[in-house]
Amino acid sequence: MKNDSGLELSAIKKYPFRALEDRGISEETCRRFGVRVAVDEETAQEITDHFYPYYSSEGEIVGYKKRRLPKEFSVLGKLDSLFGVNQCKKNAKMLVVFGGELDCMSGFQMFREQGKTYNCVSLAFGEKLDAHTRKQLNFFTSHQLVVICMDEDETGQAAASELAELLISQVQVKRLRMGRKDASEYLKAGDIEGWWSAMRSAEDYRPEKIENAANITTEELLTPVAAGIYLDCLPLTSKKLNGLRTKELTFILAPPGVGKTTLCRQITYELALKQEHPVFNIFLEEGAKKTRQGIVALHAGVALNRFRADPSCADIEKVREAQEIILPKIELVNHRGSLSNESLANQINYLVKAKGCKYGLLDHLSMVFSGRDDADERKAMDRLVTLLGDMVEPLDFHLIVVVHIKRRNRERDTGGSGRKYPYWAVLEEDDARGSGIFEQVAWNLIGLEPQKLDPSMAETRGLTRTRIMKNREWSVIGVGDHLTYDYTKGILEPVEADY
């Protein structure tokens, strides 16, 4: 909305009050709100501009919103209050808030026709809460009841929710849901009874997350927790978690080089095999071609590095089988490096809603922030983790997220034997890089802990073990699986271990 310096405020006061006949708004209502009009100089009849006044706390006009018909807006002076405050009664019990000046006047006039004079105001910049609106908090809360009446479109309802959240802790709030687009449409149609019916059906605003505990059926109460998917690559971990269920968020904490991407690839492969819905992968450290080749190599039973160097090492029938059966059930985000929180959330929304994915993997969270210029990465990570936690339940999917750990020295667990090697690099719940929010938001928190061998004597890398640090549904924690890397197949395989 542009500023208009072509007129002095004092000059506008010379314009007449006229009925806005195309809107059904009377001259009396325009006088009440101080709305003046400019008319065509040749005809002296046709209205060309509306001028909506805005007042200071002392009752002086400090600005006008100018509407050049049909719908071109500009500002003269300052709009730092609410439209309509000049006609509001002090100590009134009810306030009705609209999203525009014409709706405000229309609503007021329909109230007057029924003998009511409720306080009516509208927001200065349409259905948008700006800093000036928030400064009117004391005015809003001087009433016992605030009824919010915004357009029945996405923008209007979003503004209604935002205003309700601002006021709900201090005053009773109701939301008016209309059968027509807005209050102006009721007046233009002469549908006063419809307007009053909408007013009578206005409902108390209830924040989205609040509901009464009795609002559930007996059938729902007696419905058991859904069975989860058990992974062959993590049999003991799956047993402690009772499988992976939808509506949950799992974080895997891992230091570099422990095989996290290999494990994620195996989990993806098994999920694609064991359930009917597609699985999505957001692997931000490798290209989509390598991810595809990794799945094919798994199905063919050969190591990925061997397959990439010499594809003929794989049975061609197994390759074609993977192409026909496995790859169609995997959705890939072909992107490397950082993503904005909004972009990541949008892509996940699409993969779940449009593609029907019930399970997904993100490897790894730190890459989301690489290259981003967040002033406070920790706060940005907190916001993203909270956002992901808020998505899994309403969208009904399971998300597995790999999180790098902080670089710091760790105490070595020698198991009381007094030996320096081997030892386990034991992880703690707060080891996640960047923030302590992970253990708060997670349904499941799993550490991938490497076994450290004497580098002067080791011919292969040590085992990797999983350790469940949080298990919200079943509460069973502790060491899960011991995994060894099979260099021929390029996979992590569970093995028995007593240390």
The string of pLDDT tens digits covering residues 220-231 is: 999 998 889 999
* Strand 72-77, strand 94-98: pairing: unpaired
Taking residues 326-347, what's their average pLDDT?
86
Taking residues 381-390, what's their average pLDDT?
88
Taking residues 114-142, what's their average pLDDT?
86
- Residue at token pair 């919200």: 472
Confidence of residue 371 (pLDDT cuts 50, 70, 90): low
Q: Is the pLDDT of residue 374 over 80?
A: no
Confidence at residue 34, expressed as pLDDT on a 0 to 100 scale: 95
Taking residues 85-113, what's their average pLDDT?
94
pLDDT of 149-163, one tens digit each? 998 888 888 888 889
Q: Which residue has the higher pLDDT, 372 or 398?
A: 398
Interacting residues of 434 by C-beta distance below 8 A, sequence separation 6+ = 366, 369, 377, 378, 381
Q: Which of 49-58, 77-86, 273-282, 330-339 has the lowest mean pLDDT?
A: 330-339
Taking residues 131-142, what's their average pLDDT?
86
Cα-flanking dihedrals φ and ψ of residue 467, to 5°? -135, 120
Give the single-character DSSP code of 405.
B
- Residue at token pair 């290209």: 287
Give the class (CATH, top level) of 2-204: alpha beta
Structure tokens at 407: 């670089």
* Model pTM score: 0.64
Q: Which CATH number fits domain 235-495: 3.30.420.10, 3.40.50.300, 3.40.640.10, 3.40.190.10?
A: 3.40.50.300
State the span(s) of the chain assigned CATH 3.40.50.300. Answer: 235-495
Confidence at residue 423, expressed as pLDDT on a 0 to 100 scale: 86
Whole-number Å distance between alpha carbons of 473 and 105: 54
Q: Is the pLDDT of residue 197 over 80?
A: yes
Structure tokens at 147: 């009824």
Structure tokens at 399: 């998300």
Per the CB < 8 A criterion, the answer to whether 467 and 482 are in contact is no
pLDDT of 442-458, one tens digit each? 999 999 999 988 877 76
pLDDT of 1-54, one tens digit each? 666 656 788 889 889 999 999 999 999 999 999 999 998 877 777 888 999 999
Whole-number Å distance between alpha carbons of 271 and 245: 11
Q: Is the pLDDT of residue 132 over 80?
A: no
Whole-number Å distance between alpha carbons of 236 and 231: 9
Q: Is the pLDDT of residue 329 over 80?
A: yes
Q: Which residue has the higher pLDDT, 379 or 143?
A: 143
Confidence at residue 460, expressed as pLDDT on a 0 to 100 scale: 76
Per the CB < 8 A criterion, the answer to whether 247 and 387 are in contact is no
Cα-flanking dihedrals φ and ψ of residue 85, to 5°? -65, -25
Taking residues 378-406, what's their average pLDDT?
89
Per the CB < 8 A criterion, the answer to whether 11 and 63 are in contact is no
pLDDT of 254-273, one tens digit each? 888 889 999 999 999 999 99
Whole-number Å distance between alpha carbons of 441 and 51: 51
State the span(s) of the chain assigned CATH 3.40.1360.10. Answer: 2-204
Alpha helices in 301-417 (DSSP H): 304-309, 316-321, 341-353, 365-369, 377-395
Q: Is the pLDDT of residue 363 over 70?
A: yes
Confidence at residue 337, expressed as pLDDT on a 0 to 100 scale: 67
Average pLDDT, rounded, for the chain: 88
Whole-number Å distance between alpha carbons of 247 and 443: 9
